[in-house]
Amino acid sequence: MVRTEGESILASVIDLRSDTVSHPTPRMREAMARADVGDDSYRDDPTVNLLQERAADLLGKEDALFVSSGTQGNLVSLMSWNQGRRGAEMIVGEENHVLHSEAGGYAALAGLSVRMVPSGRGCPTPEDIEAAIRPAAAVGLFTALIEIENPHNRCGGTAITLEETRAVGAVAKKHGLPLHLDGARIFNAAVALGVPARDLVEPVDSLSFCFSKGLSCPVGSMVVGTRAFIDEARRNRKLVGGMMRQVGVLAAAGLVALDEMIPRLAEDHANARVLAERIATLPGIEIDLERVQTNIVRFDYSGPRPEQLVSRIKEQGLLVTGSVQEGLRMVTHYGIVEADVRRAADILGTVIAELAGKTAVR
């Protein structure tokens, strides 16, 4: 279903599984239809070239590379930092997306083993990271790079501050290690913290960010770093089959996103806060409101008949991600308005009451 700008989905299913379910805006569709294109394998697609230049400039880095997904963006970044050193270690927080949700590409394709450190509220402490670093040696494991995530999905969408990132960056620089940032929702973090994204990513050597989440594009992510790094990332993109042709039809939506969609992320954050505060009052719901800083709401349910909760709210028109055993997640995005999140909280409350036997289960 195609909705007009800002239109509620109240009359249909309220899909809060992820911001990846967001639809492109009318302006994006128009831009895609009239995009100037060329063959990106020859670097002559003018629209994707412009998008890459805009992204690099916006984030204060030398160059950028358009890729098909955030997973691919992280993968080619890790491959580029770990050239020919299979088995080298990556230091990473134990809850990071690259470990849990990217099909093990860090090991299977980038040749990295991992040394996990506590994620804390989203960013490992510099002390934990420094203690985990193994210097290069003739035999045995050694550290190849450090990877962090901002904002942090599995820790509740928490935004990692510039000070935290600088502290990790200082450790990386001290030991001569590259620091890669999974910044899938980096603009959410920047808006939440009131800090320009360029400043927030200044301490990192490379990063990826997604167009297809809060920015509402239909597909695509960007890898950003030095020119030498991006040259290597381009080669690795080809290696994993990610080179595309007339990609300007996709990049056109990204240009609209950079112009129009970043400021409106604050609306998603406000709706997530309304949702979190409403469900926090429901029996059996456990939620840490301090972690609801962006557009992600993570919560647990410990009430009666937990095995029925997800299926029952789905029957009522509310879609969420996860399970009662591992935790549940709702994500606000373009196309979701305050009335939708209020209705979502009402659906959850009604079903919880039914499961407790306070009303008849239909």
pLDDT on residue 138: 56
Domain boundary among 230, 260, 290: 260
Residues 98, 113: one domain? yes
Domain boundary among 260, 284, 307: 260
Residues 254, 273: one domain? no
In a domain, 178, yes or no: yes
In a domain, 86, yes or no: yes
In a domain, 362, yes or no: no
Residues 76, 145: one domain? yes
Whether 225 and 202 have beta carbons less than 8 Å apart is answered as: no
Q: How far from chain centre, in Å, is Cα 82?
A: 22
Residues 190, 54: one domain? yes
Q: Compute the distance between CA of residue 298 and CA of residue 30 in angstroms, rounded to an integer.
A: 35
Handedness of CA 169, 171, 172, 174 (dihedral sign): positive
Q: What CATH number is associated with residue 146?
A: 3.40.640.10
In a domain, 2, yes or no: no
Q: In the predicted model, what is the mean pLDDT of residues 352-356?
A: 95
Whether 127 and 181 have beta carbons less than 8 Å apart is answered as: no
Domain boundary among 260, 294, 313: 260
In a domain, 235, yes or no: yes
Q: Where are the alpha helices (DSSP H) in 213-298?
A: 227-239, 248-260, 265-279
Residues 256, 269: one domain? no
Q: Compute the distance between CA of residue 117 and CA of residue 107 in angstroms, rounded to an integer.
A: 17
Question: Which SS3 state, helix, strand or coil, does residue 119 take?
Answer: coil
Residues 177, 53: one domain? yes
Give the pLDDT band (50/70/90) at residue 141. confident
Position 274: which residue type?
A: V
The domain in which residue 148 lies consists of 26-260
Residues 109, 196: one domain? yes
Give the pLDDT band (50/70/90) at residue 139. low
CA distances from 246 to 17, 35, 207, 305 (A): 31, 10, 24, 51
Tokens 């990132």 identify what position? 165
Residues 274, 255: one domain? no
Give the pLDDT band (50/70/90) at residue 12. confident
pTM of the model: 0.94
Domain tally, the chain: 2
Tens of pLDDT along 52-105? 999 999 999 999 999 999 999 999 999 999 987 888 999 999 999 999 999 999
Residues 252, 159: one domain? yes
Question: Which SS3 state, helix, strand or coil, does residue 301 take?
Answer: strand
Q: Compute the distance between CA of residue 91 and CA of residue 305 in angstroms, rounded to an integer.
A: 39
Q: Which of 76, 52, 74 is nearest to 240 (CA)?
A: 76
Query: What's the first-to-final CA gap in the chain, in angstroms?
Result: 28
DSSP 8-state class, residue 3: -
- Return the axis-axis angle of helices 227-239 and 70-81, rounded to nearest 10°: 110
Question: Residue 218 corresponds to which tokens in the numbers above?
Answer: 């239909």
Tens of pLDDT along 205-262? 999 999 999 999 999 999 999 999 999 999 999 999 999 999 999 999 999 999 999 9
Residues 237, 276: one domain? no
Residues 255, 347: one domain? no
Main-chain dihedrals φ then ψ at residue 179, nearest 5 degrees: -120, 115
Residues 247, 273: one domain? no
- Count of residues for the chain? 362
In a domain, 204, yes or no: yes
List beta partners, residue 206.
180
Q: What CATH number is associated with residue 345?
A: 3.90.1150.10
